[in-house]
Amino acid sequence: MPIKSRENLFGAWAFLCGIVLAVVIGFFAGERTNPLILGILALLGLIVGFSVSEKNVQTFLLASVSLVIVSFAGIQGLVLSAAVMGINIGKIVASVLGTLIVLFVPATIIVALKTVFSLAKS
């Protein structure tokens, strides 16, 4: 039986809860998302950002920046497509992508700042 590391258990749970919450809120709430829930997502993003270890910084930054850029581009394309065709599924996907952005932007900013300060120290 492999030994599991518990050094980042809290951050992993915050990340998992944030992803599930972002998808569920984006799917069901749509455009009328409660600002308090968005604040909770942003707070979970901060927790995730602070819990990323130094050995995973490059991977996290590459993945999170990619996700934020693709989500933003997806929102722009889907909103335009939904407005032209009147499709509701595009609005739902755009809402899910928007809530994921609310989760990932604070985490990405924190990890990027930690990396810059780490580079400045050395």
**24-73 pLDDT, tens per residue?**
998 888 777 788 988 999 999 999 999 988 888 999 999 999 988 988 88
Q: Are 14 and 51 in contact (CB under 8 A)?
A: yes
| pTM, two decimal places | 0.81
Say if 114 falls within a structural domain. Answer: yes
Quote the pLDDT of residue 102: 92
Tell me the C-alpha distance between 99 and 102, whole Å.
5
Q: Which domain holds residue 40?
A: 9-121
Say if 107 falls within a structural domain. Answer: yes
Say if 3 falls within a structural domain. Answer: no
Tell me the C-alpha distance between 50 and 80, whole Å.
35
Q: Are 104 and 45 in contact (CB under 8 A)?
A: yes
Say if 69 falls within a structural domain. Answer: yes
Say if 75 falls within a structural domain. Answer: yes
Q: How many domains does the chain have?
A: 1
Q: What is the pLDDT of residues 3-15, one digit of tens each?
A: 455 567 777 888 8
